[in-house]
Amino acid sequence: MITPKLALVILSFLFFSVPIVNAQKAADVINKHEVFLQFDNDAFAFSRFDRYYTNGLFVGYNYLLNERSRLKFNLSQQIFTPQKYTRTELKYYDRPYAGVLYGAGSFQYFVKKAWFEGELMLGKIGPGSKAEDVQVWYHQIFGFPEPKGWRYQIQSGGLINLKVKSAYNLIATKRFDFWLNGSAALGNYDRSLQLGPSIRLGKFLPGEQSYISGSRLGAKGDKEFYLHMGTLFKRVYWNATLQGTDHVSKWNLVTMDPKRLVNEFFAELVLGYPRFGFSYRFFYRTRETQTASGQYLGSLRFSYLF
C-alpha cells in the first residue's frame, strides 16, 4: 500500500518540521483537546511484503474531562489480505481477505500509578467497509499488482465489541519505568485476553499526561522524548477477520481458525512537544493462522494538542 520511499518522505517532513514546532512557547493553560492521525503499514517496517494486516488508518479525537478522566473517539478502516494476493486459487491463501470499518468511543480513568479504560466499538466487516475499493484504487494509481481475491472476502456483517484495557506502573524512576499492560475483549469482532510488560527509557511524563496512555492531554506544554519497548501475549478466542461474524460465517467462502496464541514484540520512539506529538512503532507479530508466517509492521502517529 505505502511504499518505503513514501515512508521516508513522510519521516523527512516530520524531522524538518520539528524545529518549527519546538519554537512554540509552552502553553500556560492545560490542553483539553487532542486530535490524531495514525497510519499502520508493513511498508513502514521496510518490508518487501504487502500482506496480512496490510494497512490501517485511524482518525481520532480525545477530550480531557478532568485531571483523572477523559473521553476518546476514533474512526478506523483496516485492510487484510493473504500473502499471495495476486493469485485467484484458494489453495494459496494463508488468511482470508477482509475489510473492517468502525467507530469507537471510550472512557479512561486514572488512579495512582494506573489507568483503566472501557471502549465500545461499532462497525461493519465485508464489502460495506470499502476496503476493496480503497486497495484496488491505490494499487491502480501507483502501478502496484492488483489484488485478485476480494470476491472471497469475509462477507458483510455488523460488528459490536467491548474492550477493557488497563496498565499499572510497577517501577518508576526519573529515566526508567516498568509497566504491566492488559486487556480483555468481548463481542463478535474480537474475543481475546492480552497481557504483557513494557519499559520506557528517556525523558517522559507521568502516565496520565504521557503518550503511553494514548493521549498527552493535561501536559501543560511539557516535553517528552523516550524509547518504549515491550511484548504482548494474546490468547485469541474469536477473530472476525479470519472467521467472520457468528451469524454470517456460514456464507463465507473462505474462513480460517486463528492461532490461539499470538505474540507481539515492539519498539517505539516517542517525541512529544508542547502541542505536536509523534511516534514511530516497529513491531513483529507472530503468525495468526496455521499456514501464515510472522509479520513485521510499522506505525506512524501524529497528534496535535489545543
Question: Which pLDDT does position 188 carry in this prediction?
Answer: 96
CA nearest 186: which of 241, 126, 135, 118?
Answer: 118
How many whole angstroms separate alpha carbon 133 and alpha carbon 64?
36
State the pLDDT confidence band at 37, using cuts at 50, 70 and 90: very high
Instruction: Give 102-154 pLDDT, tens digit per residue.
Output: 999 999 999 999 999 999 999 999 999 999 999 999 888 888 899 999 999 99
Instruction: Give the burial string for 100-122 (b: 16+ CB within 10 Å, else e).
Output: bbbebebebbbeebbbebebebe
pTM: 0.89
Nearest to 285 by CA among 271, 268, 298, 272: 298
Average pLDDT over residues 233-246: 96
Euclidean distance between the first and the last CA atom of the chain, given in angstroms as a whole number: 32
Q: What is the average pLDDT across 226-246?
A: 97
Specify the higher pLDDT residue, 16 or 87. Answer: 87
Confidence of residue 1 (pLDDT cuts 50, 70, 90): low
The residues spanned by each domain of the chain are 4-25+32-305
Distances (CA, A) of 41 to 12, 216, 270: 17, 24, 18
- The stretch 68-77 carries a mean pLDDT of 98
pLDDT attached to residue 21: 44
Mean pLDDT of the chain: 90
Superfamily the domain 4-25+32-305 falls into: Outer membrane protein (2.40.128.140)
Q: Do 133 and 99 touch, CB atoms closer than 8 A?
A: no
